[in-house]
Amino acid sequence: MNEIVRHQPVQEIDIEEIKRVAMMMVCSDFFQVGKDQTQAVAQIGVKILAGREMGYGAFASVQGIHVIQGKPTVSANLMAAAVKAHPRYNYKVIEMTDDKVSIQFYEDGQPSGVSEFTKSDATLAGLTVKDIWKKFPRNMLFSRALSNGVRWFAPDVFNGNTMYTPDEVDADVTIDMATGEVIATGKQQLTQVEKKVPVQIVEKKEAEKKEEKQPVSPYPAEWKTPADAQAWAVSNKHCINEFEAKASFKNSLKEVTGQDKSLDSNQLSAVLKNFYDKHMARKSELKEAA
């Protein structure tokens, strides 16, 4: 399994070669593609491009990399293989139940940290109501524990790219648990539902979603609690989801107070400002890089 991952510098892109490979894959009829062949070639080509930047071959990229809401995601299987194949990193599952998965990470043979994800974490994030979490709790807990651990303890596995598993970007994603392949995103599933629901109801639901996603007032206008700051980060796309926003706020809390367990009301303003300043600085960095 490890031989599918190659850690090497990004090579010069040969677009014509990628187009030829993508066309061959589309014509093979081994992959689920739409009727628009031109779009299918482009989508597979983008997967190959994304995979090449992370050191993956074409076939592994098409199977394990999925672009959801404009963000590249990597299946848990491929992410695990990347860690195992890296010359500096490794991991070992130390506990795996339907309630908790704990993974010990290693760097240069030495323990570097433990990443765990529990049923309580999943419930807090609103994940356990999803059908896939009910059917495959251990698989999903492993996926979250692994991806968090990679970001925390092996950040250069993907050449500096921050990677997520598909369900972190779209909690309604449908995944084949045998292969890790994304079968459908939440948006694609909605399309199927819309065919069976009157247009007026669909339009009403879409309007409600737009209303719910209105950006939260920025700091310091109306922030009163940590939840206000976290909602702002998610609604303005500084964080991918509520779980990441909470982790980011905890980092700000630790930077300001030296601990991440409790928050004194006298320190709230300083922690909120630290949280806001960090995310705005990061936004500026991304704009400059673009």
Task: For residue 174, give both structure tokens.
Answer: 């449908």
Provide the H-helix boundaries in the chain. 15-28, 37-53, 58-64, 76-85, 119-124, 131-135, 137-153, 166-169, 186-194, 199-212, 226-235, 242-257, 268-289
Residue 203 has pLDDT above 80, yes or no: no
Q: Which position has the higher pLDDT, 166 or 192?
A: 166
Measured between alpha carbons, how far is residue 220 from residues 35, 205, 214, 270 in Å? 50, 31, 17, 11
Q: What is the pLDDT of residue 3?
A: 43
Judge contact between 124 and 133, C-beta under 8 A.
Answer: no
Q: How many CA atoms within 13 Å lie on the side-chain side of 15?
A: 1
Spatial neighbors of 66 by CB under 8 A, at least 6 apart, are: 47, 72, 73, 74, 75, 166, 182
Report the alpha-carbon distance of residue 173 to residue 283 in Å, rounded: 27
Can you tell me the mean pLDDT for 283-287?
Answer: 72
With beta carbons less than 8 A apart as the criterion, state whether 186 and 172 touch. Answer: yes
Query: Is it the case that residue 67 has pLDDT exceeding 80?
Result: no
**Amino acid at the residue 61:** S
At 220, the amino acid letter reads P
Residue 66's pLDDT is 75
**What is the C-alpha separation between 211 and 189, in angstroms, rounded?**
21
Rounded mean pLDDT, 15-40: 77
pLDDT reported for residue 256 = 85
The CA-CA-CA angle for residues 65, 69, 71, to 5°, reads 45
pLDDT at 64 over 80: no
Eight-class DSSP state of 103? E
- Average pLDDT over every residue of 26-40: 73
Report the pLDDT averaged over residues 187-212: 48
Angle at 59 between CA 57 and CA 64, to 5 degrees: 95
* Structure confidence at residue 74 as a pLDDT band (50, 70, 90): confident
More confident residue, 218 or 128: 128
Among 35-44, 70-79, 112-121, the range with the most confident prediction by mean pLDDT is 112-121
184 compared with 279, residue with greater pLDDT:
279
Total-model pTM: 0.52
Q: Is the pLDDT of residue 176 over 70?
A: no
Mean pLDDT, the chain, whole residue set: 76
> Which tens digits make up the pLDDT trace of 224-233?
788 888 888 8
pLDDT digits (tens, 9 = 90+) for 89-99: 999 999 999 99
pLDDT in tens, 39-49: 888 888 888 88
For the chain, domain boundaries = 2-70, 76-185, 226-289
Which of 22-26, 184-188, 232-236 bottoms out in mean pLDDT, i.e. has the lowest? Answer: 184-188
CA distance 248 to 60: 32
Asked if residue 165 lies in contact with residue 147, where contact means CB atoms within 8 angstroms, the answer is yes
All residues at 6 or more sequence positions from 226 whose CB lies less than 8 Å from its CB, including other chains? 249, 263, 268, 271, 272
